[in-house]
Amino acid sequence: MARLILFNKPCGVLSQFTDKGTGDSPRATLSDHVAVPGVYPAGRLDRDSEGLLLLTDDGKLQARIASPRFKTEKTYLVQVEGAPEDAALEALREGITLKDGPTRPARVRRIDPPELWPRTPPVRYRKSVPDCWLEITISEGRNRQVRRMTAHVGHPTLRLVRWRIGEWTLDGLAPGAWRDA
């Protein structure tokens, strides 16, 4: 039977088990948090992003979760710079054209600031620039897609937390913790 692990990836952790970087100091990886042999990430989450990462030992399940052709929905809680107007949100809902082509339409809505754990390092705070939280659901997963989408409409991402992948959520899972699905 396939094993599926839900992991709350903290900011600063690579979505891989080893660091192939060439820097002087090693970077945090999945092996610093998940000591389960034979599982691999089903998709990726940028080093500076947080939240749900699924790990499995089943290659077919991994492909079904990660491949854009299966259109697995992923929901993100996104803190953006500024206060997006309706036109910016509508552009995201209709799909926008990035350098690598048009995106599928996203579901987007403004939300109250969610009750999340403190981020390390903290998000930069600027008294003169407001921010806003959005819930964004996409059904593809290009490299840094949500960040590129919000920047494209003039509201760079300050903090990005993936909350849901398909039927699995981060609910009740502390940063750095994992559980079997």
Burial of 139 per CB tally in 10 Å (0-12, 13-18, 19+)? middle
Which among 46, 48, 58, 131 is annotated as catalytic? 46
State the DSSP H helix or E strand holding residue 60, giving kind and residue range, or none if neither.
helix 59-66
Return all residues near 101 (Cβ < 8 A) that are at least 6 apart: none
46 given a catalytic annotation:
yes
What is the torsion angle, in degrees rounded to the nearest 10, for the CA atoms of residue 167, residue 171, residue 175 and residue 181? -50
List % helix, strand, coil for the chain (3-state, nearest 5): 15, 30, 55
Q: Which residues are catalytic?
A: 46
